[in-house]
């Protein structure tokens, strides 16, 4: 039987993912009593310069 390693991590508001990235924004934007349903929004940004380092240019 294969062994699995749990790499899950609890995401919280203002979580710092990387020193150069903005903080994660996690908030509820829809409410059951007002909108008829619940919804949470997760916003995360990273610096484009860091992505370019790993882009394949071939």
pLDDT of residue 37: 94
pLDDT of residue 38: 94
- Quick check: 25 and 11 in contact, CB under 8 A? no
pLDDT of residue 56: 53
Q: How far apart are CA 43 and CA 28, in angstroms?
A: 11
Q: Does an H or E element contain 42, and which?
A: strand 39-43
User: What Rg do the C-alpha atoms of the chain give, in angstroms?
Assistant: 17
pLDDT of residue 57: 55
pLDDT tens for 1-58 read 788 888 787 777 777 777 777 778 888 999 999 999 999 888 877 665 554 444 455 5
């Amino acid at each position: 039987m294969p062994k699995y390693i749990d790499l899950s991590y609890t995401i919280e508001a203002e979580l710092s993912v990387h020193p150069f990235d903005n903080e994660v924004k996690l908030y509820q934007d829809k409410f059951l009593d007002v909108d008829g349903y619940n919804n949470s929004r997760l916003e995360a940004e990273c610096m484009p310069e860091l992505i370019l380092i790993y882009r394949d240019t071939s």
